[in-house]
Amino acid sequence: MAKSSNKKLLKQFYNCEILRDGQIVREDLWVRNGKFVNPEKIFYVEKIMPDVRIDCGNALISPGYIDLQINGGFGVDFSHDVTTVESGINKVAKTLLAHGVTSFCPTLVTSPNETYQKVLPKIKKRNGGSDGATILGVHVEGPFINPIKKGAHEENFIKKFDKGLQSLLDTYGSLDNICYITLAPELPNSSIVIKELRQRNIKVSVGHSIANLSEGEQAVKNGATFITHLFNAMLPFHHRDPGLVGLLTSIRIPQEKIVHYGIIADGVHTHPAALRIAHRTHPEGLVLVTDAISAMGLEEGVHQLGQLTIQVRGGCAYIAGTDTLCGSIAEMSKCVRFFKEAADCSTVEALEAATLHPARALGIESTKGVLNFGADADFVLLTSELDVISTWIAGERVYSV
């Protein structure tokens, strides 16, 4: 067999368990040309042997983690480090590999127009590899949000849809590199904006909002498919109008639509009981997100988030001088482990919340978030405690302990 490049080598991963089709099974994993391949074709049609056999030492193989909301980390803030955003993106993408993340959506918080128009052109979609995780597109969280639920977002830069979609173009400069937009669906003209964004294949998430359930349902009918960090920066659940939380059980949205929702399982933003409520109510929609900020991976002290100064103390991140939480400092593999314990769910459910579900939310589940034949060979080897042993992108090892 030709061995012109390492990528073309046929690799057999054995002595392992793999997560496939909602089950953990004792089975080998085969990779070639950056994709998972069907061994039956190799045995019975090609009749060849593997070029490389890798003993996994009884590890569990999961699809690589996908983070749909991450503001930065390891000293980098995507919304603040405007002049160094390219090197910052590279640093975060590289460091995420140690935490099992193979794909992510860099997230920009509410910022001035100038920031968006300088930063967005520099964060392009790109395939991952030894230099870092795949960039799936930018998640812009704001500035079209409700100031009443602004959280850590700077109120001076919050905007309305005064000119419909043109308001977004004036703010962002271009929609080219954007894959997700978080907005408040109760804002005037939001319906037409959501419809037009969906026509452009940009995903819409509702969040930082005081919307009632009816307004949330209308947003979903118009094309919204996601809820940004459930329970955080929205009206609390009320039995007469559950607000956006009620979308998890609404019967007034099309049956074929699955509303996915991000949830921060860091032990700070969401109480374990709330995690259990969300998971047991709507498990197939649950997506683990880190919502990580620049302080992730750093020591306690003062750091920057967008236009705000933040302080890390006691393992939590706050707007400096206040008790307002402003993002997580937990990395994804920690969130997976915490979620599994807090929700008292299976290993499969915990892993799929960080793999299959975010892939489905983005509509890329044919290539990402799965170990299916023909999908991208992005995966992570884990211990029985779900600690990361090694991370692989396109069948190449990009990190190992």
CATH number at residue 321: 3.20.20.140
In-domain check, residue 390: yes
What whole-number distance in Å separates Cα of residue 6 and Cα of residue 173? 41
Q: Which residues pair with 73 in a beta bridge?
A: 76
Tell me: do 292 and 155 sit in the same domain.
Answer: yes
Indicate the number of domains in the chain.
2
Whether residue 327 is annotated as binding a ligand: the answer is yes
pTM recorded for the entire structure: 0.95
Tell me: do 291 and 194 sit in the same domain.
Answer: yes
Tell me: do 288 and 353 sit in the same domain.
Answer: yes
What whole-number distance in Å separates Cα of residue 265 and Cα of residue 14? 32
Q: Which domain holds residue 314?
A: 65-362
Neighbours of 4 (CB within 10 A): 7
pLDDT number for residue 229: 96
pLDDT number for residue 1: 34
Tokens of 93: 């993408």
Whether residue 126 is annotated as binding a ligand: the answer is no
In-domain check, residue 367: no
C-alpha separations of 314 from 115, 317, 350, 360 in Å:
31, 8, 26, 35
Tell me: do 235 and 285 sit in the same domain.
Answer: yes
What whole-number distance in Å separates Cα of residue 310 and Cα of residue 239? 35
Tell me which DSSP letter residue 42 carries. Answer: I
Tell me: do 35 and 97 sit in the same domain.
Answer: no
Tell me: do 54 and 178 sit in the same domain.
Answer: no
In-domain check, residue 1: no
pLDDT number for residue 5: 54
Tally helices (H) and strands (E) across the chain.
Answer: 10, 22
Tell me: do 44 and 161 sit in the same domain.
Answer: no
291 is catalytic: yes
Given a contact cutoff of 8 angstroms between Cβ atoms, the answer to whether 125 and 104 are in contact is no
Whether residue 168 is annotated as binding a ligand: the answer is no
Tell me: do 160 and 27 sit in the same domain.
Answer: no
Tell me: do 33 and 152 sit in the same domain.
Answer: no
Tell me: do 179 and 259 sit in the same domain.
Answer: yes
Whether residue 303 is annotated as binding a ligand: the answer is no
Tell me: do 112 and 36 sit in the same domain.
Answer: no
Whether residue 232 is annotated as binding a ligand: the answer is yes
In-domain check, residue 158: yes
pLDDT number for residue 298: 78
Neighbours of 121 (CB within 10 A): 13
Neighbours of 325 (CB within 10 A): 20
In-domain check, residue 217: yes
CA 313 from centroid of its chain's CA atoms? 25
What whole-number distance in Å separates Cα of residue 135 and Cα of residue 142? 20
C-alpha separations of 205 from 98, 150, 182, 225 in Å:
28, 15, 5, 6
Which CATH number belongs to the domain containing residue 39 in this structure?
A: 2.30.40.10
Tokens of 51: 């070029």
Helix (H) or strand (E) holding 55: strand 52-63
Cβ-Cβ contacts under 8 Å for 88 (sequence gap 6 or more): 72, 76, 77, 78, 81
In-domain check, residue 336: yes
Whether residue 207 is annotated as binding a ligand: the answer is no
Whether residue 141 is annotated as binding a ligand: the answer is yes
| Active-site residue, selected from the candidate residues 77, 291, 376, 378 | 291
Low-confidence ranges of the chain (pLDDT < 70): 1-5, 304-307
pLDDT number for residue 306: 63
Tell me: do 34 and 155 sit in the same domain.
Answer: no
In-domain check, residue 86: yes
SS (H, E, C) 94-157: HHHHHHCEEEEEEEEECCCHHHHHHHHHHCCCECCECCECEECCEEEECCCCCHHHCCCCCHHH
Whether residue 260 is annotated as binding a ligand: the answer is no
Burial string for 346-378 (b: 16+ CB within 10 Å, else e) reads: ebbbbbbbbbbbbbbbbebbeebbbbeeebbbb
Cβ-Cβ contacts under 8 Å for 207 (sequence gap 6 or more): 141, 145, 182, 183, 184, 227, 228, 229, 233, 234, 244
